[in-house]
């Protein structure tokens, strides 16, 4: 009986703290902090007391918010944060691996965020697709104006200078070679920017990956805050990060490859809705494979016993090779590169 009363009092305290955090979201100094802290009390409660107490607490919070701040706005606002609390709290309680928590969480929260976005637009009478297209086009125009236009001007100018040097009899081969290398570098940069513009436009038409990526980062930040709080105030146990062992299951990767091939095959057909879904899956998985590629880099760094400073530098360099890391993450899943590396090292020993 005493234990039950203790559980109820702990849950009531966390419910009250969550409501207070929600109430502070309108204050200038606390608005940003409250967004990141809002799921944390219930995550800690779930990690210690389990899903039953956690779900009761989430229901109590939603009722309290609805009675105090209005049903529609409060429930829509807290629904996403309640889902984060449920995913992390239950995951911590059952000691589910973080890779599984983040993968399932990013997909489910991304879908929930997209649904809330569409539902909120319907309630407010806003055409969400039109607004997304408008905001996206403005962003692309600004990006092209600040990045692509100056690059094209510089490329045109360099091309004229290069042609003048070619037609001049007094130009040394060394100067000509240097100018050609500079021109080639500008062309590569232009291709990178054009590819980025293309990706932004595709994301505007298929915004689901953006919701999934933002959900992942929200989960990521909430996780680290919750871990710090759990250790500081001794709330339950949290699973280790173990980032060096994050690896996508092979079956998921084969499904992804089939989706990519299927998208290119169906593009000429009239299945536009299916194509958009498959594009969304592809964009989302690219982000996931980037993380798995970064995990493989971490695996190698730990095998090579690199210092923390060297690892940070390695991560910073890796960010400039996004596509390469995506391929590493995919290949590691398909052929288990970690296992091949370990076998090769053992043979060499």
| Same-domain pairing of 254 and 191 | no
340 inside domain = yes
- Residue 34: is it exposed, middle or buried by C-beta count within 10 angstroms (0-12/13-18/19+)? middle
Confidence of residue 274 (pLDDT cuts 50, 70, 90): low
| Same-domain pairing of 146 and 194 | yes
- The CA-based angle 265-268-274, given to 5 degrees, is 70
Closest among 178, 215, 190, 263 to 102, alpha carbons compared: 215
339 inside domain = yes
Res 276: pLDDT:
64
Quick check: 92 pLDDT over 80?
yes
Confidence of residue 1 (pLDDT cuts 50, 70, 90): low
Residues 7-19 have a mean pLDDT of: 87
Question: How confident is the model over 100-145, as pLDDT tens digits?
Answer: 888 888 888 888 888 888 877 777 777 777 777 787 788 778 877 8
CA 59/CA 330 separation, integer angstroms:
40
User: In the chain, what are the helix, strand and coil shares in percent, each to the nearest 5?
Assistant: 85, 0, 15
Quick check: 264 pLDDT over 60?
yes
37 inside domain = no
Residues 55-62 have a mean pLDDT of: 90
CA 331/CA 313 separation, integer angstroms:
24
Question: How confident is the model over 316-340, as pLDDT tens digits?
Answer: 888 778 888 889 999 999 888 888 8
Q: Which domain holds residue 151?
A: 128-205
| Same-domain pairing of 190 and 254 | no
Res 328: pLDDT:
92
| Same-domain pairing of 248 and 345 | yes
| Same-domain pairing of 265 and 321 | yes
Task: With beta carbons less than 8 A apart as the criterion, state whether 162 and 183 touch.
Answer: yes
pLDDT cut 90: percent of the chain above it: 7
| Same-domain pairing of 251 and 336 | yes
28 inside domain = no
Kindly report the average pLDDT of the chain as a whole number. 81
Quick check: 233 pLDDT over 70?
yes
Counting the structural domains of the chain, the total is 2
In angstroms, how far is the first alpha carbon of the chain from the final one? Answer: 61
92 inside domain = no
| Same-domain pairing of 155 and 249 | no
Helix (H/G/I), strand (E/B), else coil: 248: coil
Res 258: pLDDT:
81
Confidence of residue 88 (pLDDT cuts 50, 70, 90): very high
| Same-domain pairing of 182 and 267 | no
Res 237: pLDDT:
67
312 inside domain = yes
Question: How confident is the model over 142-186, as pLDDT tens digits?
Answer: 877 888 888 888 888 888 887 887 787 777 788 878 888 888 888
Highest averaged pLDDT of the listed ranges 69-73, 174-178, 298-302? 298-302
Res 310: pLDDT:
86
| Same-domain pairing of 264 and 163 | no
| Same-domain pairing of 262 and 348 | yes
189 inside domain = yes
Res 54: pLDDT:
92
| Same-domain pairing of 337 and 270 | yes
Residues 233-257 have a mean pLDDT of: 79
Residues 57-73 have a mean pLDDT of: 85
164 inside domain = yes
| Same-domain pairing of 255 and 342 | yes
Confidence of residue 2 (pLDDT cuts 50, 70, 90): low
């Amino acid at each position: 009986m005493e234990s039950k009363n203790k559980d109820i009092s702990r849950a009531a305290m966390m419910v009250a703290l969550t409501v207070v955090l929600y109430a502070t979201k309108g204050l200038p100094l606390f608005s940003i902090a409250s967004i990141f802290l809002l799921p944390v009390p219930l995550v800690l409660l779930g990690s210690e007391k389990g899903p039953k107490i956690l779900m009761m607490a989430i229901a109590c919070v939603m009722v309290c918010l609805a009675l105090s701040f209005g049903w529609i706005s409060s429930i829509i606002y807290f629904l996403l944060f309640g889902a984060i609390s449920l995913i992390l709290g239950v995951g911590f309680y059952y000691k589910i691996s973080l890779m599984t928590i983040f993968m399932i969480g990013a997909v489910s929260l991304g879908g929930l965020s997209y649904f809330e976005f569409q539902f909120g637009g319907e309630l407010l009478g806003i055409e969400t697709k039109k607004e997304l297209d408008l905001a996206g086009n403005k962003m692309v125009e600004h990006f092209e104006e600040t990045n692509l236009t100056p690059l094209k001007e510089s490329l045109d100018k360099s091309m004229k200078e290069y042609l003048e040097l070619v037609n001049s009899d007094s130009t040394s081969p060394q100067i000509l070679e240097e100018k050609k290398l500079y021109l080639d570098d500008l062309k590569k940069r232009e291709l990178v920017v054009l590819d980025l513009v293309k990706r932004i436009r595709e994301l505007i038409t298929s915004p689901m990956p953006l919701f999934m990526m933002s959900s992942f980062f929200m989960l990521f930040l909430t996780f680290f805050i919750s871990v710090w709080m759990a250790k500081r105030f001794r709330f339950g146990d949290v699973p280790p990060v173990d980032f060096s062992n994050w690896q996508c299951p092979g079956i998921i990767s084969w499904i992804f490859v089939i989706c990519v091939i299927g998208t290119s095959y169906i593009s000429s057909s009239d299945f536009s809705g299916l194509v958009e879904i498959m594009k969304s899956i592809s964009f989302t998985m690219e982000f996931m494979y980037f993380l798995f590629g970064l995990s493989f880099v971490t695996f190698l760094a730990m095998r090579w016993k690199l210092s923390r400073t060297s690892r940070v530098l390695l991560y910073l360099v890796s960010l400039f090779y996004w596509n390469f890391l995506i391929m590493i993450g995919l290949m590691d899943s398909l052929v288990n590169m970690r296992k091949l590396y370990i076998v090769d090292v053992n043979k060499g020993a």
